C-alpha cells in the first residue's frame, strides 16, 4: 500500500520504463496520482479555511506577524500529537490517553525538579522514560488481551488524569506546580524545548518593516518558538518512516489486516507496542514544550487533546478503521483545526457560539475535503 | 442523491458562516475590549460578568468580547491572550489564574502598548508585577479565612471543603484560608468533586457518610453548592451542620439562605468585576481619571438579614 502512495522518486529515462513495462500495470497520469494522495482533500480544506478567514477576519490582525505566530503555535502543538495519532490509527489502534499523558508527563517533570531538587535534564529524561513505559503498558495490554484499544486507553485516560491530580496533591498540596523555570537554572533543556530560534533574522525583518516593531524597538515576533521546530522535525521523521521504510509498510500492514500481516511475517505485536510508545513520546514532547514555555505544570493540562489529535488525523484523511492515511494529511488537519480554533476569535463571533462555529467549520472542512477526494479518486 | 445532499449542506454552511461573521463585526468602528477568563464553559457563575460586560458595552459605546478556554486549560488561556494581543484591542481585561502561565502573554500585551486591567483571580502584587493598570477582585485566601472565622464562631470543629475546580490554585487557597480561619489543618477535608452535579452530589454524600463527625461545610460556588443543598434537603440533615457557607450566589443558594439550609454566602460582587474595568478604562481614555488603588469587590457576606435585596437579581446581576 505504501509503495503506491509514495511519489515517483525521479523521472526515469523512457527506455528503462519501456523495458519494465508490464501488461498488468496500467499507467497513470502523474497529476492524477498527485490528486489521489490521502492528504489532497485536507490540502483543499486548508485552502478553504484560509479563504474563509481571509474574507471574515482579513483586517483583524490574524495575518499580521504576531497573529500568524499565534495560530501557527497552536497548530504546531497539535501536529506533535496528531502525527502520533495518525501513525497509530494507520496501525489500526487508538490512544485516548494522550491528553491525560500530557498532564501526567508535565507533573513527572515539574515535581522532581521543584520538590526533589533534580536537574532539568534528569527530570525530563525521567518523564520520557516514565511516559514511554506507560505507552508500552498500553500497547502490551491491547495486544495481549485483544481488547479494543478504545477501552484500554480510556481506562488509562482516567487513571493518568487521576494520578496527576492525586500525586500533585500528595507532593505539593496544590494542583499547579510553579517555579519550573527557576528550578531549571541555566540548564540547556528549557532552551531546547521552549527557546526561540532565528532571533537575528526577526530583528532584521522588523528593520525592513516586514514585522511590526514594538515601542521599545524589539520586533513584535521575536523568532520561531521551539515547539514549531519540534513539530516540523517530528512530522518529517514520521513521514519518512511511514513512506520510505520497511517499518512504514509494517504499520500499514498491521492496520490493514493484522492477521494477514502476521502470516507474511510482519512483527505486528512489536509494531503496535512501538506505536503506543511513540504516542506517549509525542505527548511528552508536547508537555515538555509547554512546561518550559509557561514555567508551570497543572493537573488539567491537555484536557480533551486526545480528541483534537484524532480529529486532526481524520480531517487529514486517516481512516478510523486503520490501514490508510498520511502524516502530511494529519499536519494539514492540525493546521485546519488550529486556524479555525484561533480564527473564530479573530472574527469576533460571540463567545457563547464558539463551539457551534468550531463544530460547523470542522464539519464544513471535512465535507469539503471528502467531496474533493471522491471527485478525484472516483470512489462512490 | 447522497452527493446532492452533501453539496447542499456544504453550500448552506458556506453561505451561513460569512453572514453570521459579518453580523458580529457590524459595529466595527467602536473600540474593542477583550475580557479573558480562565473559566471552563460549564461554569455558570460567569454569566453575571457576561451581563455586566453587555451593560458596560452599551453604556460606553464600546465592543466588549468575553473569551475563555472551553475546557478551563490555562495553557489555552495563554494562547487566547496572545490571540487578543495580535488583534490590537483598546484594552485587555484578564484574570490571573496562574501567574507563571500568564506572565509572558500579559507582559507581551503590555509591551505592545495594550493596557491590561486584571480582575477576579490573582493578587494585587501579581497585577503590579505584570505592569497592569490595576487589580479588581476579591483576595481569595482572606475570603476563605473570613468564612473559617464565621464557622469557628458557630462552633465547627471538623469541616468539608467541596472543591469543584481543584486545578485552580485560587480554589485551593479558599479551602486553605477556611482551615486557617478555623484553626485546623486542611489535610483530607478538601474533596475534588468535579463539575458534574451528579458527581458532586454522590462524592459529597460518600464523604459525609464516611466522616459522620463533620459539622461544617464550605462550597466554592454554585457548581458545588447547588448539589450539596439538594443533598442536605434530600437527607433532611441540614440542621446537623453548624455552618454551611458557600462562595458566590445563584438562585438556589439564596433560597437555601432564606430557608436556613445555608448560613451565609460570600459575595464577591462579580458584576463590579465585569463593569468596573471597562468603565475605568473608558474614563481613563476620555478624561484621564482612574482610581489610584486596587479595588476589592469582596468579601461581603450575604445572610438571612440582607438576602431580600440580593434575591431579586441572583444569577443575573448578583
| Contact residues, A window 82-141, toward B, CB-based 8 Å cutoff | none
Residue among A84, A189, A39 nearest A126 (CA): A189
Q: 458545588: which residue's cell? A: B224
Query: Domain for residue A291, yes or no?
Result: yes
The residue count of chain B comes to 318
Residues of A in contact with B67 (CB under 8 A): 345, 351
Give me the domain span that covers residue A309. 38-377
Please give the residue of chain A at the shortest CA–CA distance from B172. Answer: A174
* Ranges A20-29, B18-27, B160-169, B300-309: which has the least confidence: B18-27
Q: Which residues of B90-119 are buried (b: 16+ CB within 10 A; e: fewer)?
A: bbbbbbbbbbbbbbebbebbbebebbbbbb
Residue among A125, A131, A99 nearest A113 (CA): A125
> Cα Rg for chain A, rounded, in angstroms?
22
B100 lies within 8 A of chain A by CB = yes
Query: Domain for residue A1, yes or no?
Result: no
Average pLDDT over all residues of chain B: 86
pLDDT (mean) for B31-48: 88
Nearest to B10 among A290, A298, A371 (CB): A371
Query: Domain for residue A72, yes or no?
Result: yes
Distance of CA A207 to the CA centre of its chain: 34
**Contacts A–B by Cβ distance under 8 A:** 153
A223 lies within 8 A of chain B by CB = no
- Answer yes or no: is pLDDT of B120 > 50: yes
Domain CATH number, residue A107: 1.10.3470
Confidence of residue B159 (pLDDT cuts 50, 70, 90): very high
Query: Considering the entire predicted model, what is its pTM?
Result: 0.80
CB contact under 8 A, B86 and A73: no
Mutate to test the interface with A, among B73, B92, B186, B195 (most CBs of A within 10 A): B73
Query: Domain for residue A20, yes or no?
Result: no
Query: Domain for residue A22, yes or no?
Result: no
Residues of B in contact with A71 (CB under 8 A): 83
Task: Please give the Cα distance from B183 to B218 (Å, whole number).
Answer: 15
What was the pLDDT predicted at A5?
A: 46
**B96 — alpha (psi -120 to 50), left (phi > 0) or beta?**
beta
What was the pLDDT predicted at A369?
A: 73
Q: How many domains does chain A have?
A: 1
B153 lies within 8 A of chain A by CB = no
DSSP H/E element including B54: helix B47-60
Q: 487566547: which residue's cell? A: B80
Query: Domain for residue A32, yes or no?
Result: no
A74 lies within 8 A of chain B by CB = yes
Query: Domain for residue A140, yes or no?
Result: yes
Q: What grid cell was written down for B103?
A: 506572565
Task: Please give the Cα distance from A102 to A298 (Å, whole number).
Answer: 10
CB contact under 8 A, B192 and A350: no
Half-sphere exposure at residue B314, Cβ-oriented, CA atoms within 13 angstroms: 22
Confidence of residue B117 (pLDDT cuts 50, 70, 90): very high
What was the pLDDT predicted at B17?
A: 47
The domains of chain B, with CATH numbers, are 30-137+269-297 (3.40.50.2300), 140-267 (3.40.50.2300)
A6 lies within 8 A of chain B by CB = no
Tens digits of per-residue pLDDT, A168-194? 888 887 778 888 888 888 888 999 999
What was the pLDDT predicted at A213?
A: 81
Task: Please give the Cα distance from B114 to B228 (Å, whole number).
Answer: 42
B194 lies within 8 A of chain A by CB = no
* Percentage of the residues of chain B whose pLDDT score is greater than 70: 91
B112 lies within 8 A of chain A by CB = yes
Which segments in chain A show pLDDT lower than 50? 1-11
CB contact under 8 A, B166 and A363: no
A378 lies within 8 A of chain B by CB = no
Query: Domain for residue A233, yes or no?
Result: yes
Amino acid at each position: 500500500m505504501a509503495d503506491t502512495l509514495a511519489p515517483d522518486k525521479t523521472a526515469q529515462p523512457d527506455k528503462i520504463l519501456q523495458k519494465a513495462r508490464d501488461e498488468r500495470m496500467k499507467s497513470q497520469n502523474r497529476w492524477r496520482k498527485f490528486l489521489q494522495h490521502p492528504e489532497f482533500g485536507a490540502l483543499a480544506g486548508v485552502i478553504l479555511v484560509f479563504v474563509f478567514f481571509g474574507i471574515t477576519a482579513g483586517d483583524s490582525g490574524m495575518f499580521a506577524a504576531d497573529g500568524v505566530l499565534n495560530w501557527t503555535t497552536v497548530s504546531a502543538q497539535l501536529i506533535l500529537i496528531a502525527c502520533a495519532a495518525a501513525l497509530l490509527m494507520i496501525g489500526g489502534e487508538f490512544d485516548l490517553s494522550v491528553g491525560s499523558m500530557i498532564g501526567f508527563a508535565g507533573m513527572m517533570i515539574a515535581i522532581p525538579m521543584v520538590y526533589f531538587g533534580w536537574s532539568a535534564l534528569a527530570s525530563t529524561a525521567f518523564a520520557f522514560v516514565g511516559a514511554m513505559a506507560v505507552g508500552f503498558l498500553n500497547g502490551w495490554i491491547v495486544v495481549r488481551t485483544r481488547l479494543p484499544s478504545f477501552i484500554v486507553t480510556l481506562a488509562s485516560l482516567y487513571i493518568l488524569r487521576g494520578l496527576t491530580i492525586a500525586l500533585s496533591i500528595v507532593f505539593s498540596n496544590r494542583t499547579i506546580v510553579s517555579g519550573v523555570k527557576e528550578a531549571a537554572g541555566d540548564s540547556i533543556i528549557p532552551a531546547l524545548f521552549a527557546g526561540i530560534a532565528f532571533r537575528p533574522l526577526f530583528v532584521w525583518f522588523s528593520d525592513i518593516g516586514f514585522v511590526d516593531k514594538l515601542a521599545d524597538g524589539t520586533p513584535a515576533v521575536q523568532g520561531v518558538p521551539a515547539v514549531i521546530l519540534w513539530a516540523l522535525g517530528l512530522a518529517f521523521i514520521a513521514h519518512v518512516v511511514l513512506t520510505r521504510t520497511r517499518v512504514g509498510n509494517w504499520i500499514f500492514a498491521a492496520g490493514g489486516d493484522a492477521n494477514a500481516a502476521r502470516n507474511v511475517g510482519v512483527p505486528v505485536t512489536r509494531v503496535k507496542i512501538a506505536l503506543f510508545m511513540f504516542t506517549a513520546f509525542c505527548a511528552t514532547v508536547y508537555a515538555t514544550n509547554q512546561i518550559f514555555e509557561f514555567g508551570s505544570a497543572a493537573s488539567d493540562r491537555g484536557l480533551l487533546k486526545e480528541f483534537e489529535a484524532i480529529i486532526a488525523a481524520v480531517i487529514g484523511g486517516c481512516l478510523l478503521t486503520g490501514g490508510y492515511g498520511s502524516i502530511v494529511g494529519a499536519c494539514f488537519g492540525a493546521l485546519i483545526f488550529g486556524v479555525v480554533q484561533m480564527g473564530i476569535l479573530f472574527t469576533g463571533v460571540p463567545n457563547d457560539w464558539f463551539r457551534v462555529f468550531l463544530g460547523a467549520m470542522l464539519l464544513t472542512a471535512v465535507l469539503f475535503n471528502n467531496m474533493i477526494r471522491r471527485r478525484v479518486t472516483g470512489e462512490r | 442523491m447522497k452527493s446532492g445532499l452533501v453539496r447542499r449542506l456544504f453550500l448552506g454552511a458556506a453561505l451561513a458562516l460569512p453572514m453570521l461573521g459579518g453580523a458580529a463585526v457590524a459595529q466595527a468602528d467602536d473600540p474593542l475590549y477583550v475580557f479573558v477568563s480562565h473559566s471552563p464553559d460549564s461554569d455558570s457563575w460567569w454569566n453575571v460578568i457576561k451581563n455586566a460586560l453587555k451593560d458596560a458595552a452599551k453604556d460606553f459605546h464600546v465592543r466588549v468580547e468575553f473569551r475563555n478556554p472551553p475546557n478551563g486549560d490555562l495553557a489555552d488561556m495563554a494562547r487566547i491572550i496572545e490571540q487578543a494581543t495580535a488583534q490590537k484591542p483598546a484594552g485587555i481585561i484578564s484574570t490571573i489564574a496562574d501567574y507563571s502561565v500568564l506572565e509572558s502573554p500579559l507582559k507581551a500585551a503590555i509591551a505592545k502598548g495594550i493596557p491590561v486591567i486584571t480582575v477576579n483571580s490573582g493578587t494585587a502584587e501579581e497585577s503590579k508585577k505584570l505592569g497592569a493598570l490595576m487589580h479588581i477582585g476579591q483576595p481569595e485566601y482572606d475570603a476563605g479565612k473570613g468564612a473559617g472565622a464565621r464557622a469557628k464562631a458557630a462552633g465547627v470543629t471538623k469541616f468539608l471543603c467541596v472543591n469543584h475546580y481543584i486545578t485552580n490554585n485560587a480554589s485551593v487557597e479558599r479551602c486553605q484560608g477556611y482551615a486557617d480561619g478555623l484553626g485546623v489543618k486542611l489535610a483530607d477535608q478538601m474533596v475534588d468533586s468535579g463539575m458534574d452535579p451528579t458527581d458532586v452530589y454522590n462524592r459529597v454524600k460518600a464523604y459525609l457518610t464516611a466522616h459522620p463527625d463533620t459539622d461544617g461545610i464550605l462550597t466554592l460556588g454554585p457548581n458545588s453548592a447547588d448539589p450539596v443543598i439538594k443533598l442536605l434537603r434530600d437527607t433532611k440533615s441540614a440542621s446537623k451542620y453548624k455552618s454551611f457557607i458557600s462562595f458566590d450566589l445563584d438562585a438556589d443558594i439564596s433560597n437555601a439562605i432564606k430557608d436556613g439550609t445555608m448560613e451565609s454566602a460570600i459575595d464577591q460582587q462579580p458584576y463590579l468585576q465585569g463593569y468596573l474595568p471597562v468603565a475605568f478604562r473608558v474614563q481613563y481614555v476620555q478624561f484621564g481619571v482612574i482610581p489610584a488603588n486596587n479595588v476589592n469587590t469582596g468579601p461581603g457576606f450575604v445572610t438571612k438579614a440582607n438576602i431580600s435585596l440580593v434575591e431579586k437579581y441572583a444569577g443575573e446581576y448578583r
